[in-house]
């Protein structure tokens, strides 16, 4: 096992060692301390849930709230100054609980059905091929900056009807919104929110006047019974920009890296193209692009894993731990097995907050990986696998870089 896990640092999940290789520590915690306290440098704390069954129960428990107003009240108490969630982030379904959550989910669910996602396949293939064209002449391209990051941003921007000349700004805003915290005090988060908000308000106004064949137009001109308010439409756009882009980018990069280091599985997929879609859930489980589900706050005492968590506490559901829990995946969960029976991972959540865009994220990842390896069948890593590094992030687990040789 891992030496010293019984005496972990109180900041254990925030260390670089954990970021680069979390799985030995998580294996120990699932056995010995499945709900573990974590300290934050600002004096706050959280409770980290590492077992599959506990996590699934937590994700479905109404006493563990995703309401952003509850979260901001707790942050305000912790740092001793009042924080208010910006309206752009406070009015979409990922940050709300019933009753407000329910009509919002109903209003946008039409856009993310498996059939509608599949209808986007030709457009996603075209975007992927265009990005690959730009990489073809580079001696050692970075597949994160040049491919995994921009692919979902462009797809989602096009889905929303954003003009192509604004895609670079969308990528910049998406990166800023996921990397800056409301408690850091630099003002960088507020500046990027204001810039994106101004752009989105103008875009919404233009589509009110002249609707197109895109998601924003559909939301703006929906039937009265499912029509969102202007603020809710704006907030939904923000949710797609953050939750949609960073999680899918992490997934695309992780799946590509996994197949680069598993040549037998990669060859099998290229020889049997019909297996790509069937293999996505196992690839997602193995990669675990979501390190932790969006955090909750306990509104009442909750017992999980034999630990009673008091009211008013942050709860973190560690998805990359649950995705390797032997109670759910008894056959070598640390291995990639494309024949694994029903790899029911929690990477897209569970219950009412299950990711609305899961089908689209899978499709983007499938197309992104397949088009890459079909275009460059001799693709290899330009560094040894142990040189790959992950960014420290509270929710996703993105690679910093993925340098490759395109022709072996």
* Cβ count near 52 (within 10 Å): 24
Tally of structural domains, the chain: 1
**pLDDT of 236 above 80:** yes
282 contacts: CB under 8 Å, gap ≥ 6: 336, 337, 338, 340, 343
- Contact assessment for residue 94 and residue 111, using Cβ atoms and an 8 Å cutoff: no
CATH number of the domain within which 84 lies: 1.10.630.10
More confident residue, 94 or 403: 403
The Cα 19–Cα 21 span in angstroms is: 6
DSSP-assigned letter for residue 75:
H
316 contacts: CB under 8 Å, gap ≥ 6: 13, 38, 46, 47, 48, 49, 292, 293, 295
For position 408, what pLDDT does the model report? Answer: 53
**pLDDT of 183 above 70:** no
The Cα 239–Cα 219 span in angstroms is: 14
For position 250, what pLDDT does the model report? Answer: 95
DSSP H/E element including 45: strand 45-49
Query: Which residue segment(s) compose the domain that 163 sits in?
Result: 5-405
pTM of this structure: 0.92
Tokens for 323, please give them: 């995705």
85, 231, 246 from 190: Cα distances, Å: 11, 17, 19
The Cα 291–Cα 401 span in angstroms is: 18
The Cα 341–Cα 281 span in angstroms is: 10
More confident residue, 19 or 394: 19
Lowest mean pLDDT among 74-83, 177-186, 259-268, 304-313: 177-186
The Cα 203–Cα 308 span in angstroms is: 47
Q: 13 by DSSP, 3-state: which?
A: helix
């Amino acid at each position: 096992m891992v030496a010293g896990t019984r005496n972990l640092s109180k900041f254990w999940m925030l260390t670089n060692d954990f970021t680069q290789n979390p799985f030995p520590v998580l294996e120990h915690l699932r056995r010995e301390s499945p709900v573990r306290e974590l300290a934050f440098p600002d004096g706050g704390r959280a409770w980290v849930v590492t077992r599959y069954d506990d996590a699934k129960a937590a994700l479905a428990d109404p006493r563990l709230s995703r309401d952003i107003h509850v979260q901001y009240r707790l942050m305000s108490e912790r740092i001793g100054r009042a924080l208010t969630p910006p309206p752009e982030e406070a009015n979409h379904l990922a940050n709300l609980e019933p009753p407000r959550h329910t009509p919002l989910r109903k209003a946008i669910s039409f856009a993310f059905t498996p059939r509608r996602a599949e209808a986007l396949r030709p457009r996603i293939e075209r975007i992927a091929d265009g990005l690959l064209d730009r990489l073809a002449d580079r001696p050692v391209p970075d597949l994160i900056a040049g491919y995994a990051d921009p692919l979902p941003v462009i797809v989602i921007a096009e889905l929303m009807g954003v003009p192509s000349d604004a895609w670079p700004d969308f990528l910049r805003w998406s990166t800023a919104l996921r990397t800056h915290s409301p408690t850091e005090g630099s003002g960088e988060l507020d500046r990027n929110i204001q810039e994106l908000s101004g752009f989105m308000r103008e875009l919404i106004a233009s589509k009110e006047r002249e609707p197109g064949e895109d998601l924003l137009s559909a939301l703006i001109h929906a039937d009265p019974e499912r029509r969102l308010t202007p603020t809710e439409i704006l907030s939904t756009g923000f949710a797609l920009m953050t939750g949609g882009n960073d999680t899918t980018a992490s997934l695309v990069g992780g799946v590509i890296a996994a197949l680069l280091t598993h040549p037998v599985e990669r060859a099998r997929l290229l020889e049997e193209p019909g297996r790509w879609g069937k293999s996505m859930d196992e690839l997602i489980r193995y990669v675990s692009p979501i390190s932790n589900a969006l955090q909750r706050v306990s509104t009442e005492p909750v017992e999980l894993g034999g630990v009673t968590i008091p009211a008013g506490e942050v709860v973190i559901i560690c998805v990359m731990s649950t995705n390797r829990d032997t109670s759910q995946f008894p056959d070598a969960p640390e291995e990639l097995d494309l024949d694994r029976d029903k790899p029911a991972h929690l990477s897209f959540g569970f219950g009412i907050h299950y990711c609305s865009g899961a089908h689209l994220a899978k499709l983007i990842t499938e197309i992104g990986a397949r088009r890459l390896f079909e275009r460059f069948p001799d693709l290899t890593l330009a560094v040894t696998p142990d040189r790959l590094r992950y960014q420290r992030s509270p929710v996703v687990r993105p690679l910093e870089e993925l340098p490759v040789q395109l022709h072996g």
